[in-house]
Amino acid sequence: MTFFFTQMRPMIDAGHLYLACPPLFRLTQGAKRVYCIDEAERDVHLEKGLGGKGKIDVSRFKGLGEMDAKDLKETTMDPASRTLIRVTIDEDEPGETAALVEQLMGKKTRISFPVYSGEREVRGGVGCLRDKREANTPLSLLPELLLACI
């Protein structure tokens, strides 16, 4: 995200940058397999069942690195079944997003440490790292938090 923002900003402004959204859960019951994007969808499938035999096995993906190539191809890469999120930048004040990107992803770690540790709020606390619970987010999720703030 940082690369596209700093080096290819016109691509974002034109609406040509998308993120593939992998599922969070895989439910398996016998030979039946269903992928769920969130907890609500998972709960619906757990209530009604999958139509297979036996107990429903629930697997949670924490990232793309945990998915088998078959799962990745079936859910995130297949144009017929994937979910895409268009990347947009909504700035209340000009330069606000650039400052946030520099603060969170820049080379000066001294500037970003208070944000990662939860000592400082970003954008007045809207959408990012407002309290200590969110401050414990793994560093691998910080680009996603950054996207949520943009």
Question: Distance (Å, rounded) from C-alpha 26 to C-alpha 41?
Answer: 11
Q: Which domains does the chain have, with CATH numbers?
A: 1-17+89-150 (no CATH), 19-86 (3.30.1490.440)
pTM (2 d.p.) = 0.59
- pLDDT tens digits for range 100-120: 888 777 776 555 555 555 554
- pLDDT tens digits for range 5-59: 889 999 999 999 999 889 999 999 988 999 999 999 999 999 998 987 889 999 9
Q: Are strands 25-29 and 32-36 parallel, antiparallel or unpaired?
A: antiparallel
Query: What's the confidence (pLDDT) of residue 2?
Result: 85
φ/ψ of 103, rounded to 5, equals -65, -45
Query: What's the confidence (pLDDT) of residue 114?
Result: 55
